Amino acid sequence: MNSQSSIQVQPPRKGAFARIRSDIQSVFDRDPAARSVIEVLVTYPGLHAIWGYRLSHWYWTHHLKLLGRVNQTFFRWLTGIEIHPGATIGENFFIDHGMGVVIGETAEVGRNVTLYHGVTLGGVSINKGKRHPTLQDNVVVGAGAKILGAITIGAASRIGANAVVVKDVPPDSVVVGVPGQVVQRSLPHDNSPDLAHNRLPDMVTESIVSLMKRLDTVESTLHLHGIKHPTLNGDGAWKDEPENSKMDDTPVKVIHPPLDGQWDGDDFQI
């Protein structure tokens, strides 16, 4: 995937009221806490930040860059969200809660993208030109995640909370950990926002458990009697096996190693 390529994220031209209605509807579509239009208009800083960004972006693209930065600074003070006026953002963009969100100058955000609080779309270079991420359509980024550099996050992907992503992510993927580990789904996700933040695979732990189970099978086959390995109980905590425990006859789950830095979605329930 070419991280330097741009995507067409500019929304089709709409009237101002049509854009406002679309923004409000995107809140109801993705936040069950939204109760009324008045509540959304008055109490959603993510919505205020997007409207402030649009004004700043208009100034920026009409050679009024200083005015754009001043307006952006005001809305950063008002909402706790900083969106550079040079960023490119598509329609139905939603920032939930929003405090601490930072979006850099050359970031590109597609349609129907959702960000949670503490997300950074940042750069890793002081060079001019493209240095911030590109998020394609229907991407969801969990709280505290950092996406750094001129990389591309493929459509319909989900970035787990507090993940640090520094390389391209294929479409229909889930990313967790530091640095971000990429699991490409075995089945594509539909076009609805993927908000199932509780379904995040633990690749490292599952790989270690898989390896220990396979080692136990080998030792049993060779009639070796070593110290039993600890196993995971149903709550994810470690426990020791009883001395008289017998080998489990169930097939050993094999976790395949990552290929080119990407894990196989068939190995994980995501």
* 10-residue stretch averages of pLDDT, the chain, 270 residues long: 47 71 90 90 93 95 95 95 95 91 95 94 90 94 94 92 93 89 76 69 73 77 62 60 58 74 76
Is 114 found in the same domain as 227? no
Q: Is residue 10 part of a domain?
A: no
Cα separation, 194 vs 100, whole angstroms: 22
**Residue 209 has what pLDDT?**
74
**Residue 4 has what pLDDT?**
43
Cβ(148)–Cβ(134) under 8 Å?
A: no
Is 164 found in the same domain as 217? no
Is 257 found in the same domain as 225? yes
**Residue 67 has what pLDDT?**
96
Is 211 found in the same domain as 133? no
Instruction: Put residue 199 in one of left, alpha, beta given phi > 0 → left and psi -120 to 50 → alpha.
Output: beta
Q: Is residue 257 part of a domain?
A: yes
Total number of domains in the chain: 2
Residue 92: helix, strand or coil by DSSP?
coil
- Spatial CA neighbour of 92 closest among 104, 109, 106: 109
Is 170 found in the same domain as 214? no
Is 208 found in the same domain as 162? no
Cα separation, 88 vs 232, whole angstroms: 45
Cα separation, 142 vs 197, whole angstroms: 7
Q: Is residue 102 part of a domain?
A: yes
Q: Is residue 8 part of a domain?
A: no
Q: Is residue 231 part of a domain?
A: yes
**Residue 244 has what pLDDT?**
58
**Residue 3 has what pLDDT?**
43
- Spatial CA neighbour of 111 closest among 91, 134, 133: 91
**Residue 5 has what pLDDT?**
44
CATH at residue 128: 2.160.10.10
Provide DSSP, 98-155: -TT-EE-TT-EE-TT-EE-TT-EEE-S--SSS--S-EE-TT-EE-TT-EEESS-EE-T
Is 131 found in the same domain as 31? yes
Strands 146-148 and 120-122: parallel
**Residue 18 has what pLDDT?**
85
Is 213 found in the same domain as 115? no
Is 106 found in the same domain as 180? yes
Q: Is residue 250 part of a domain?
A: yes
Is 162 found in the same domain as 30? yes
Range of the domain at 213: 203-267
